[in-house]
Structure 1
């Protein structure tokens, strides 16, 4: 990121040190800014920051984001730039210019006349309750979903934790023994922006955690990591292991197109809303910064009501 101007480097340091954004998030901001300033340099030469206008921004969004044609030895053709990508780039620039304003580098932000493209609303994909009961019972069409060995126990607890708590995959990987407060039926999760939240645990899930921990001490002994969940060789679970575990389990019980760990988070929230949970409570459980992020799950509830109405009402 040394190619960036000092104010942009200061902005990234601000995100990392003061806002405490994750390394992945800071890197994403940095790559967006690097792409933007490289485009400006190629198209307009040495252009001072205070001379930037919304025309320069719109030029980059219209021309600078066009996918480049790959060389002949690459098989995959680049896809079109999506509205989601453009919205993310605009969000990066808005945050950057807001920072530059505070630092006195600008008199006004050039983003005032830049409009984000509208997004088509997409309902979250989730697993129905019947399929999740099969997962919980470890049984599908007369066959076990998870093996009896230690890795099988690890895989089963991974799926149960994701579904019963709604935590993100990164939050699952960050769980340690200190995260668990079984005496108070809860666990502490470190979410986005290093924000902590408390999530209640059901009695069956606590019993599963206790049983797993006891089995780990007997069969694995001293693990190489402080993670709650480990492999039979003592090493901690990885992102790839979690993804593969969820995908293989859901392959056995559902035909939905997506079978990722995040689908279990959607499933957790949707099942809560469908069974009458308060939306503000669901927001806190998920660790959402705003209610708008949680409201998408109300649409699934409404769609369910529409379906019931169409199937049951004589005038539907």
Structure 2
């Protein structure tokens, strides 16, 4: 017999178009609260609970020393579930109606400098063989398109249009977008395909990026790849595919790209999501402002 939680998962997957990974994460959070509720309040059904029960769960999560960001994410899963129950008229009021999220410190993601990116690209400038050609393309593609790691791994052969110099990316909530690629990247795509076709065995035929054994790459591989190369040129704490995405956006904005255009390239649903990158280009903006404004030159002379 289907439960409200089953219906909620179907709602997330088929109506909200959330990825299987996201649906599972929501389900795991509900199960976690369900187990807590049964253990501490001897109640199996989480559809009818009061805020005190949820608050006790939150306190228990904090006691495990996980971050406030993680706690807020888990509570957000509960919020979504109770909104669903409201929508389907299973409850009349959400127990989280007056809940306030825990305070979190804003983490500023520091992008790589152009010098650091150039240094890494210089390392992979003349690839030989399948793996080197693939690795160079992965680094270049992440930096020149700003696609997410999951989007890169989800690329299929049918998504690559070399004649048109475009790739089709399946983003969050299964939203599709077409991204132009630079001529140099188009050439690399063609070269990689030649190396890919020379593999002895191809297991995951549909997927574009493969291991030397012919299977689809996993997320940890791409993280290790980016971390490994950028660790040789950068002392920044975080060296990940996501930082390379930040770098893409920041470098575009620093060089005069329109914010709306960057938003479209990144696949953001709102401009607010893209504006988080503008803090990185504030110093560049100050220089442009001083050089362009009529009072800017006199201001510089007085210093």
- Tell whether the structures are fold-level matches, with TM greater than 0.5: yes
Task: Say whether residues 1:17 and 2:2 are aligned partners.
Answer: no
Who is 1:85 aligned against?
70
Aligned with 1:110: secondary structure?
Answer: coil
Gaps of 5+ in 1: 68-79
Task: Say whether residues 1:40 and 2:37 are aligned partners.
Answer: yes
Who is 1:111 aligned against?
96
Q: CA RMSD in A?
A: 2.7
In 2, Cα distance between the equivalents of 1:249 and 1:125? 17
Compared CA separation, residues 154 and 48, structure 1 to 2 (3 A): closer
Task: Say whether residues 1:172 and 2:152 are aligned partners.
Answer: yes
CA deviations over 1:111-147 (Å, ceiling 9, x no partner): 11100123222222211111212333x34xxxx5765
- Equivalent residues of 1:145, 1:252 under 8 A apart: no
CA deviations over 1:69-117 (Å, ceiling 9, x no partner): xxxxxxxxxxx23220121122111111111012221111121110012
Query: 1:306: how far off?
Result: 6.0
**Once superposed, which parts of structure 1, at least 4 consecutive aligned residues long, lie more than 4 Å away?**
47-51, 144-147, 303-309, 312-316
Task: Say whether residues 1:196 and 2:176 are aligned partners.
Answer: yes
Who is 1:268 aligned against?
248
In 2, Cα distance between the equivalents of 1:185 and 1:297? 26
**Match among 46, 56, 59 for residue 56 of structure 2:** 59
Gaps of 5+ in 2: 291-298
In 2, Cα distance between the equivalents of 1:171 and 1:189? 6
Query: 1:221: how far off?
Result: 6.1
**Match among 113, 116, 119 for residue 134 of structure 1:** 119
Compared CA separation, residues 37 and 293, structure 1 to 2 (3 A): same
Aligned with 1:189: secondary structure?
Answer: strand
In 2, Cα distance between the equivalents of 1:249 and 1:64? 36
Query: 1:8: how far off?
Result: 2.2
In 1, Cα distance between the equivalents of 2:38 and 2:213? 52
Who is 1:223 aligned against?
202
TM-score, length of structure 2 as denominator length: 0.86
Who is 1:244 aligned against?
224
Aligned with 2:152: secondary structure?
Answer: helix
